[in-house]
Amino acid sequence: MAKRGWLFALVVVGALALPSVVYAAAGAFSAGGTTTALRVTQSGSGKAIRAVSNRGQAVWASRTNTDGKTPAIYGTIASNDNGARAIYGLAPKAGGRTFGVYGQTNGGGANASGVFGFASKATGLTNGVWGRSDSEDGAGLFGTGAFGSWGQGVVGTYGLGVLAGLAGESTGIADGSYGLWSVTDSLFDGHMLVSNGNIAGQCTIPEGLETATCDFDDAFADVVSPIMAIATPTQDVGDFWATATSTSVTVNSDTAADADGFTFNYLVIGVDTSLASASVSSAAASPAQQVPSSFGHR
Classify burial at 209, counting beta carbons within 10 Å of its beta carbon; exposed 0-12, middle 13-18, buried 19 or more.
middle
Spatial neighbors of 116 by CB under 8 A, at least 6 apart, are 128, 292
**Which of 6-20, 144-158, 169-183 has the least mean pLDDT?**
6-20
Gap between the Cα atoms of 125 and 111, Å rounded: 24
* Per-residue model confidence as pLDDT tens digits over 16-34: 454 444 444 567 777 777 8
Integer CA distances (angstroms), 217 to 199, 214, 248, in order: 10, 10, 9
Residue type, 171: T
What pLDDT sits at residue 61? Answer: 85
What pLDDT sits at residue 39? Answer: 85
Q: Would the pLDDT of 240 be above 90?
A: yes
* Per-residue model confidence as pLDDT tens digits over 74-127: 888 888 888 888 888 878 888 888 887 888 888 888 778 777 888 888 888 777
Q: What is the DSSP letter of 288?
A: G
Of the pLDDT bands very low, low, confident and very high (cuts 50, 70, 90), residue 155 is low
Q: In what order do the strands lie in the sheet with 200-205?
A: 200-205, 262-272, 224-233
